[in-house]
Structure 1
Amino acid sequence: MIGHLPLDEQLVALKSVLSRNEVLLEVLHRTAGLGLRGWYLTAGCLFQTVWNVATDRHPTSGIKDYDVFYFDDHDLSWEAEDRVIKTSAEAFAGLPADVEVRNEARVHLWYEQKFGAACTPYTSSEAAIDSFAATTCCLGVRLEPDGQWRVYAPHGLADVFNLVVRPNPVLAPRQVYETKTARWRRQWPELTVLGWPSESAILTRASP
């Protein structure tokens, strides 16, 4: 199984598997041309492509959208982010998918109102990826100027390849995790979804 291979071999396998999703490749190439600061293609479109290939589904099956994170803390106004969103929409025109581009430097300005929990300002796109509700989601890929793939995977790739969804109780509420995993289970019943930890376990984990 790929999830039991050495990490360098898992990285090679990841690129091979993701390359089977032609929409994902096109999003990567078009995003690379936008000149966004610290950007990554991230979240569902990545690990769900792996799930699809691992379960003999079409590589794009069940993927709702393609999320692009970037980080620009020079201008935190909505107007600045909206300009990037509109420019990106033109770049992604014609693709058979929704591509959502968001400035992660602004998340703390709206997160609490939407999810009911305060969010400390992020310092990078990587920090934003770290806070996904499941560690399996904590994955980002981008194309460097020389065409090389840059992969950010703070929790490794074993769970992604092994179809294991593991909670990441650092920011997102339990309800967000359980709502997402319930939807994923309906689409990919082969998943092993681990339960949300108890409050005591979370407090123990957070203790120095």
Structure 2
Amino acid sequence: MTDFPSRPELRLRLGDPCTACEQDRLAELERILPAVPHIMDILATIRDLQLPDAWLVSGGIYQTVWNILTERPHLHGIKDFDVIYFDGSDLSYEAEDKVIRKVNAALPELASLLEVRNQARVHLWYEKRFGRPYRPLDCAMDALTTYAARTHAIAARLGVDGNLILHAPFGLANMFGMRLVPNYTQDNRETYAEKAKRMKALWPELTVIPWHANE
């Protein structure tokens, strides 16, 4: 496993909003991700395929960081790697399926773990699947604001120059501090509880903030 020294200190320092600035956290994430080969394979692939507004988001990033901070194998507990993109020119499932197949073919060793979704069409199927409406999104990064936990809201991609581009609308302190914190922009209480239970079992170091303070 790649050596990242002083992991407990790193969690304490970067996980505390008062002892480090967001630029420090971004810099550390920019150091961590390039050292994980399969993460870079995914990022390079979605860049090279030129998918519109495409990013690797959520668990594939923050759970990778948790595994490094807790000295676990890189793939421990990672159920899937969420690749999102935004293409409003064709909202059909057939168009999305074509992209899914293209990404899977480009990453055959990771295909079983990839979850590729066009964020422009999520509102078309979300209510049927989850029982509550979902507003049409404006862009791929708009999706991050709807995730069940603020901790989940992290995205990465590679620029044409190879530089890592990161986006975290709620910041990175909770990720580095291993805290699961609710996001109230959507009524995701049940989803949050399910994810919290699974993650706490996989990462006992995780602190789970209840959906409401009195729970």
TM-score with structure 1 setting the length: 0.91
Distance verdict in 2 for CA 1:193–1:123, change over 3 Å: same
Deviation (angstroms), 1:21: 2.4
Q: Distance in 2 between matches of 1:46 and 1:90?
A: 22
Contact 1:117/1:173, CA 8 A, preserved across alignment: no
Contact 1:112/1:119, CA 8 A, preserved across alignment: yes
Equivalent residue for 2:99, pick from 80, 84, 97 = 84
Structure 2 counterpart of 1:2, one-letter code: L
Equivalent residue for 2:57, pick from 37, 42, 63 = 42
Please state whether the residue corresponding to 1:73 is helix, strand or coil.
coil
Q: Distance in 2 between matches of 1:192 and 1:20?
A: 26
Please tell me whether residue 147 in structure 1 is matched to residue 147 in structure 2: no
Q: Distance in 2 between matches of 1:39 and 1:163?
A: 26
Instruction: Kindly provide the CA deviation profile for residues 130-155 of structure 1, in whole angstroms up to 9, marking residues without a partner as x.
Output: 11100000000000111111111000
Single out whichever of 9-18 and 186-195 deviates more from structure 2: 9-18
Work out the percentage of aligned pairs sharing the same amino acid: 39
Distance verdict in 2 for CA 1:92–1:108, change over 3 Å: same
Please state whether the residue corresponding to 1:100 is helix, strand or coil.
strand
Please tell me whether residue 15 in structure 1 is matched to residue 30 in structure 2: yes
Matches within 5 A, 1:116-195: 116-195=131-210
Q: Distance in 2 between matches of 1:9 and 1:176?
A: 31
Please state whether the residue corresponding to 2:211 is helix, strand or coil.
coil
Contact 2:80/2:114, CA 8 A, preserved across alignment: yes
How well do the aligned residues superpose, as a CA RMSD in angstroms? 1.4
Single out whichever of 135-144 and 60-69 deviates more from structure 2: 60-69
Q: Distance in 1 between matches of 2:63 and 2:35?
A: 12
Please state whether the residue corresponding to 1:19 is helix, strand or coil.
helix
Matches within 5 A, 1:64-83: 64-83=79-98
Aligned length: 198
TM-score with structure 2 setting the length: 0.88
Structure 1 counterpart of 2:34, one-letter code: S
Structure 1 counterpart of 2:202, one-letter code: Q
Please state whether the residue corresponding to 1:156 is helix, strand or coil.
coil
Structure 1 counterpart of 2:22, one-letter code: L
Contact 2:34/2:40, CA 8 A, preserved across alignment: yes
Q: Distance in 1 between matches of 2:182 and 2:32?
A: 24
Q: Which runs of 4+ in 1 moved over 6 A?
A: none
Instruction: Kindly provide the CA deviation profile for residues 75-113 of structure 1, in whole angstroms up to 9, marking residues without a partner as x.
Output: 111111111111111111133851111100000000001
Q: Distance in 1 between matches of 2:134 and 2:110?
A: 33
Contact 1:165/1:191, CA 8 A, preserved across alignment: yes
Partner of 1:6: 21
Q: Distance in 2 between matches of 1:71 and 1:82?
A: 14
Equivalent residue for 1:57, pick from 46, 53, 72 = 72
Please state whether the residue corresponding to 2:23 is helix, strand or coil.
helix
Contact 1:38/1:71, CA 8 A, preserved across alignment: yes
Partner of 1:103: 118
Q: Distance in 2 between matches of 1:131 and 1:108?
A: 12
